[in-house]
Amino acid sequence: MKKQNIEPDYVVEAPPVRVLVYNLVVGENVRRTVDLSDAFKASIKERGVRVPVIVRRDVMGYMVVVDGQRRVLAARAVGVESVPVVFTEDIGDDADRIVEQLEVNRHREAVSTPDTAEALFQLSKTLTAAQVVKRTGRTREEVKAAAALATKATSEVREAVATMDLVTAAAITDIADGDEKIAAEIAEDIAERPDQVEYILQESRLDQECRRIEQEGITEYEALGYAVNPECRDFPLFGLTASPVTGGDEPPGISIEEHATCEGRAVKLAVLPWIKPLTLSVTHYCVDPQKYGHHDRWPSAGSSSKKAADNDEQAKADVKKVRENNKASDVAEVVRRKFCVGLLAAPPKEAILHAATMIGRFPDLVHQYATLQILDELLPLSKRDVYLHTGASKVAQERILLGFALAIGEKSLPRDFWRTPLTCYAHHRETLQWESAGRLHVERLISWGYQAADVEADWLAGTGVDQGQSTETGLNHSAGESVSEGLDEAAADTQDAVDEEVIP
C-alpha cells in the first residue's frame, strides 16, 4: 500500500540537532504497543536514525517526543546513543498533541485500530464527543466505538481486531467478551466474507446468547443431579414405561416427576433461536433404561427404519443444511428489520410508489395480526399517532404508508422462505401472496442499498435449497399442503417423540 505524505499542522525548527536518546521523554503515543521488529532494529543499528524525531518542550523544559517514538525506542534497544531531533513550536495541550498524532499516523500502516481507539478515548476524557468528532473528523459512532474498544479489549482481542474498522472492532470486542478464540474466529470470518459483516456479527451475538442460556441450564440441572447432554439418543422418557409391556392397553410413559429420583436421569438442552425471547428446550432421558428397570413402551415397533435413516449420510447433510439456512434466516431478519427502521427515519424517493404497490397488490395482508405486530416493531404506535395528527407533514404520512409496506414484506418472509423457489409452492392464496410479496420486498430493499445476506441472495438467484420435502420436519411442502410453523428442530436430533419442558 502506497503511503501518503502529509504535512502536520505544527511547525518545526531547522536544522535538526543531535540529542542523547535517554534525554528524550517518550510520551503516551496513540500506539499502545510499538512493533519493534528485528528488521527495523537491525536497520537502526546499521544506519542510525536518519529521519529526525519531532519533539517539544513541556512546561518543565523536558524534551517530549511528538513524532518518532518508535525510532527512539529502537535506538535505545540497539545501543544508538543519539538521534537527530527538531523542535516544534508549542502545539497546545495534550488534546492537541493527540489530535496531531492521529492525523500523522492515520496514513501509517503500523498504527492499529486499537491504538487509534486508545487515542480517541484519551481525547474523550478532556473533550466532549462533539468536540472529538469536530477535531478528528471521526463520526459519532466511531468515537463511541473507540471508547468501548479502549476499555473492554484485552491484549489478545486487540491483536485479533487490529486491522478492523473501529465500529466492527468494537462490536467484535463486545461479543467476544475477552475470549480471544471467539474474537479471532469472527475476524477470520469477516476477512473471508467482507460483504457480510452485519450478518456475521449478528450471528455471533446469537451464538453467544444461546451459549449463555444453555450454560445457565447446564448449571441448574447439574446441581439437581442430572447428566446433561449425554450420548443417549435412543431413550427419551416418552418411549419408556415403568413396567413390561404384556399386551392390551398401551402403557403410559414415564413422567418427568416419576423419573426425578432415577439415578439414570439426564437431560438434553437446546436453545430454540426462532422463538422470541430465546427459549431453552429441555428433553428428559434415561442414560440406561435396562439398568434402571425401565422398559420399551413400543417393543414391537422396531427401529430398523430409524437406524437406516441415522446411517444415511445424505439425510444428515440435508438436516445440517436446513439448520444452517434457518439460522441464517433468523440472523437476516434482525439485520433486515434494522435496515427497515433506518428507511422509516428517512423515507427514500420511491417510498410512496412502493407502498402503493405492496398495499394495492396484497390488501389481505394489511390488517393481519402478524403484519400489525411487525409494524409495531418497525414503527411503534406512539409514533404513528403523532404522525396522524392534524397537519402531519408529507414525510410523516410517507413513513406510515412505507411502514405498512415494509411490514407486509417482512410478514411474507417466514423463517423457511429460503427453501422454496420463486414461484408458488402451494395452491392456497395466502402462500401465493407470501412468495410474491417477499420477493418484491427484498428486491426493493436491495435497490435502496440493503446488502442482502447470502441466504437471501441465493434464494433470489434460485440457487438455494429447493425442498419439496423438509428433511428436518418431515413435512411435504407440495401443492395443497399447509406449512407448519415453529416446529422443534430437536426432532431432527432425536427423530423420536419426546417429553419436553420449555423454559423461556
- DSSP helix/strand/coil, 67: strand
User: 10 Å Cβ neighbour count for 463?
Assistant: 9
Is residue 101 within 8 A of residue 66, CB to CB? The reply is yes
C-alpha cell at 342: 433506518
Q: Which residues does 193 contact at the CB level (< 8 Å), separation at least 6?
A: 200, 454
CA within 13 Å, CB half, 1: 7
Average pLDDT of the segment spanning 132-136: 84
What are the pLDDT digits (tens) for 276-317?
A: 788 999 989 888 888 898 888 877 654 444 444 455 677 778
Residue-averaged pLDDT of the chain:
79
Q: Residue 306: which of 468, 485, 469, 474 has the closest Cα?
A: 474
Res 447: pLDDT: 95
- Give the whole-angstrom CA distance, residue 365 versus residue 357: 13
Sequence-distant (6+) residues with CB within 8 A of 108 are 3
Place of cell 473471508: 192
pTM of the complete model: 0.64
Q: Which residue has the cell 486491522?
A: 163
The H-or-E segment that residue 196 falls in is none
Considering 65-79, 201-215, 411-425, the range whose residues carry the highest mean pLDDT is 201-215
Q: Tell me which range, 15-29, 76-90, 452-466, 469-483, is most confidently predicted by mean pLDDT.
A: 76-90
Which range, 35-39, 67-71, 196-200, has the best average confidence (pLDDT)?
Answer: 196-200
In whole angstroms, give the CA distance from residue 295 to residue 253: 10
pLDDT higher at 94 or 288: 288
Strands 227-228 and 63-67: unpaired
Is the confidence at residue 390, as pLDDT, over 60?
no
Element (H, E) at 162: none
Number of separate helices (H) and strands (E) present in the chain: 21, 11
pLDDT at site 487: 26
- Residues 418, 470 contacting (CB under 8 angstroms): no
Q: Where are the alpha helices (DSSP H) in 304-453?
A: 304-310, 313-345, 351-361, 363-366, 369-378, 381-387, 394-411, 429-447
CATH T-level topology, domain 1-111: 3.90.1530
Q: For residue 110, name the pLDDT band (cuts at 50, 70, 90).
A: low
| Domain residue extents for the chain | 1-111, 313-472
Q: How many CB atoms lie within 10 A of CB 103?
A: 16
Give the pLDDT score at 269: 93
Residues 424 and 418: beta-carbon distance below 8 Å: no
Range with top average pLDDT, 71-80, 85-94, 122-131, 237-246 = 71-80
Residue the block writes with cell 417482512: 410
Tell me the backbone φ, ψ of residue 407, rounded to 5 degrees. Answer: -65, -40
CB distance 265 to 226 below 8 Å: yes
